[in-house]
Amino acid sequence: MAVDRRPLIAGNWKMNFDHLQAIAFTQKLAWTLRDANHDYATTEVAIFPPFTDLRSIQNLIEGDKFDLAYGGQDVSSHDAGAYTGEVSGSFLKALGASYVLIGHSERRQYHAETDEIVRAKVEASLRHDLIPIICVGETESDLEQFGPSAVPVAQLRAALSGIAEKDIVIAYEPVWAIGTGKAATDEQAEQVCGALRTALAEAWGMAPAESTRILYGGSVKATNIAALMRQPNIDGALVGGASLDISEFASICRFLKHVV
Ligand code: PGA
C-alpha cells in the first residue's frame, strides 16, 4: 500500500441478498463502520450487490448520507437496444453507481467472457463515466504452465489495448484462491500486483501506473488483510465470501487498525 493511493475495500456480493436483505445488511454495515469511527477518506469502502438491489441501495445511501460507494457486478458492452437481459452502463450511472466489476473469473468461466468482451466492457464503462474494476487472474493449471504473472498480465494488456489513460482499478484474483479459503500469500500476491503495475507503466507511463489502485482478491479475511496491505503494490481487496458477514467485512475495512 502506497501512501498516495487511497486503499479500496470492495465487497462482491455475487448472487446473494435480495433487495430487502440488501437494505438491512447495508444499513447495519454503515452503522458498524460509523460506531467504529471508520474514516472513509483514509480507506474507501464499496459494495457490489446484484442489479435488482441497486435502486434500494441508492435510496438508502443517499437518504442516510452514508459514505459507502457502490457499483454493478457486470455491464453490457452495448449502450442500448435489443440485448435481452443486458444492463447498460448508462442505467448504472443513473442509479448513482461509481464502479463496475469487469471480467470477474466467474463471468469468464460461466459466461464465456473473452478478453475481447472484457475490453469492450471496459470501453463501455468508461463511456458512461464508471470506473471499471478490471479483474484478472490465473487458474491453477495456468500457474503450473506459465508461472504466476504471465496470464494476469496478458489479460490486463488485452483489456486495455487501444484504450488511453483513464481512472481504472485492477483486481488481481488468482482463480485457485477464489472461494477456496486458500488465499495467495502476501509475497505471491505482491509479485503479481507488481508485474501488473509494470505492465500498466508500459502501456500508459509511470505516473498513471503509480496512481492506479491494484487490489488483491481471493479468500481475503480479517486475519490475512493486514499482511496483504503491507505490500507496496497492493492497494486494497476485492472480497467475496467475507463481504457477506458484517463484522468480518467491517474488520477488513478497518485493516489499518491491525497494520502495525
Ligand atoms: P472470495 O471471492 O473472497 O470468496 O474468495 C473473491 C471474489 O470472487 O471476488
Domains of the chain, CATH where assigned: 8-257 (3.20.20.70)
Judge if the beta carbon of residue 173 lies within 6 A of ligand 1. yes
The pLDDT of residue 2 is 62
Interhelix angle 186-204/150-160, rounded to 10 degrees, is: 30
Nearest Cα to 171, choosing from 142, 150, 192, 188? Answer: 192
The pLDDT of residue 4 is 85
Cell of 100: 463496475
241 CA distance to ligand 1 centroid (A)? 6
> Could you say which of 106, 138, 173, 190 is catalytic?
173
The pLDDT of residue 3 is 58
The pLDDT of residue 202 is 97
Judge if the beta carbon of residue 178 lies within 6 A of ligand 1. yes
User: Is 104 among the residues known to form the active site?
Assistant: yes
Give the Cα-Cα-Cα angle 78, 106, 214 (nearest 5 degrees).
85
Contact between residue 97 and residue 52 where contact means Cβ atoms under 8 Å apart: no
User: Is 144 among the residues known to form the active site?
Assistant: no
Cell 479483474 identifies what position?
Answer: 135
The pLDDT of residue 257 is 86
Nearest Cα to 234, choosing from 190, 196, 202? Answer: 190
Q: Which of 13, 16, 219 to mutate to test the pocket of ligand 1 (most atoms within 8 A of CB)?
A: 219
The pLDDT of residue 260 is 45
H helix intervals, the chain: 19-35, 54-63, 89-94, 105-110, 115-127, 140-146, 150-160, 186-204, 206-211, 225-229, 246-253
> Could you say which of 104, 106, 138, 190 is catalytic?
104
238 CA distance to ligand 1 centroid (A)? 7
212 CA distance to ligand 1 centroid (A)? 21
Task: Average pLDDT across each block of 10 residues of the chain; the chain has 260 residues. List them in order.
Answer: 86 98 98 96 98 98 98 98 98 98 98 98 98 98 96 98 97 97 97 98 97 98 96 98 98 84
Q: Whose CA is nearest to atom 3 of ligand 1?
A: 240
Q: Which of 8, 9, 12 to mutate to test the pocket of ligand 1 (most atoms within 8 A of CB)?
A: 12
Which atom of ligand 1 lies at the shortest distance from residue 12's CA? 9
Judge if the beta carbon of residue 219 lies within 6 A of ligand 1. yes
